[in-house]
Amino acid sequence: MLYLDNSSTTKTNKEVMSTVVSVMENYWGNPSSLHELGVLSEKVVKQSRKIISDFLQVTPEEVYFTSGGTESNNIFIHGVLEEYKGRGNHIITTKTEHPAVVEVIKSFEEKGWRVSWLDVDEFGLISLEELKREVSSETVLTTIMHVNNETGTIQPVEEAAKIVKEASRSLFFSDGVQGFMKVPINLEKSKIDGYSISGHKINGPKGIGALYISKKVRLKPFLLGGGQERGYRSGTENVPGIAGLAKAVQIYKDDYLSFLETGKKKKILFAEKLKENIPEIKINSFLNDKGSPYILNCSLPGIRGETILHSLEENQIYVSTGSACSGKDKSYSHVLRAMNLDERYLMGTIRISMALGSWPDKSETLYFIQKLKETWERLGSG
């Protein structure tokens, strides 16, 4: 099996699984309980928070556990817009955000907020000049994703946050789900106020994530209840998931930068081989430092991405046609549309995505290309 759909989800690491099981067996108390069993569970949560905050170079008090990237994005965006609505009614975001941002922003747009949807270039990159033009004293929130889930485009979020802060009182959020542990970011030194992460994109468990909230920011809580996570995320903590997420961070934290470097080279080689064997292929992702080495988006003209996906699947090769979250939606990707991808290529897009340190080796690469080429020759116009 060749699993190349890691932006959708990754296979859980075995050590992470053991940690989850062990916490379920030994630390099943409610962290809010005052007795010993609660205290033991609370300790697991505390240690896990410290591991994640150390990696992000922020304080433990600035890390909040959630059920994943979607919830983290919702909590921050809702929380800021409700808390600071007295400051204005303008939001800035981009045309290529994940639905877990797009839909939240649209819901505020429907309520009357003015939204600037930033354009992107042919590789999905925003223009900082356009951002400078859009930001105003009315801007309450600017939300720009770190790494795009379909193309791997890395937005210059640290620079963008600086620009926004120099020109306004706007808070700055970044959906970091595809960037976390894959592409470095300096939350300590940057002007970013919020950053979301998700466990299942880094070989951790599903249904667990975290949200960095700068101590300078106050949020109106989105979920109301028992007041867990200092009031920002009520609900009994997912202690095994939290421990599993922290374990994944522990496992990969020392190697992630070297994975990044080898990944860059492997992605270039992979793309070159693709081009060499299938000249009609169009690479939609950056192959330089502006793109994550974990995601390669490409298209073939006049064939459906879904047809390619199912043909590869017959050989136990798994890719995606876009992002999994919108994979069942039959309309074409809003990201590739924003990049002005030609209609002929739009339909024939596939996304190849890797997990931490897992680019295919030479024989896997050749096998993949051979099967893709066969598909193209059999079903495409090649």
Ligand X SMILES: Cc1ncc(COP(=O)(O)O)c(C=O)c1O
With residue 317 as reference, give the H or E element that holds it: strand 317-318
User: Of the two residues 198 and 349, which places its CB atom closer to ligand X in the complex?
Assistant: 198
Enumerate the H helices of the chain as residue ranges. 14-26, 36-56, 69-83, 99-110, 128-134, 157-167, 239-252, 256-277, 305-313, 334-338, 343-346, 362-379
* DSSP character string of 334-348: HHHHHTT--HHHHTT
CB of 198 to ligand X, least distance (A): 3
User: Of the two residues 179 and 360, which places its CB atom closer to ligand X in the complex?
Assistant: 179
Q: Is 325 a catalytic residue?
A: yes
CB of 144 to ligand X, least distance (A): 12
Give the C-alpha separation, 18 to 9, whole Å.
19
Give the C-alpha separation, 371 to 137, whole Å.
54
CB of 28 to ligand X, least distance (A): 24
Give the C-alpha separation, 58 to 233, whole Å.
19
CB of 40 to ligand X, least distance (A): 27
Q: Which residue is nearest to ligand X (CB)?
A: 69
CB of 228 to ligand X, least distance (A): 19
User: Of the two residues 239 and 281, which places its CB atom closer to ligand X in the complex?
Assistant: 239
Q: Which residues, including other chains, have CB under 8 Å from residue 246's CB and lie 6 or more apart?
A: 47, 48, 49, 51, 52
Question: Which one of 17, 115, 271, 325 is the catalytic residue?
Answer: 325
CB of 373 to ligand X, least distance (A): 29
State the helix-helix crossing angle for 305-313 and 362-379, rounded to 10 degrees. 120
Q: Which residues, including other chains, have CB under 8 Å from residue 234's CB and lie 6 or more apart?
A: 221, 223, 224, 225, 226, 227, 228
User: Of the two residues 175 and 193, which places its CB atom closer to ligand X in the complex?
Assistant: 175
User: Of the two residues 88 and 179, which places its CB atom closer to ligand X in the complex?
Assistant: 179
User: Of the two residues 149 and 168, which places its CB atom closer to ligand X in the complex?
Assistant: 149
Residue with the two structure tokens 């939300």: 143
With residue 196 as reference, give the H or E element that holds it: strand 194-198
Give the interface with ligand X as residue ranges (CB under 6 A).
68-70, 98, 100, 145, 149, 175, 177-178, 198, 209, 323-325
Residue with the two structure tokens 């699947």: 313
- Identify whether the C-beta of residue 353 lies closer than 8 Å to the C-beta of residue 202: no
* DSSP character string of 272-285: HHHHHH-TT-EE-S
**Torsion angles phi and psi, residue 14, rounded to 5:** -60, -40
CB of 184 to ligand X, least distance (A): 17
User: Of the two residues 198 and 321, which places its CB atom closer to ligand X in the complex?
Assistant: 198
- CA-based max dimension of the chain: 69
The residues annotated with a catalytic role in the active site are 325
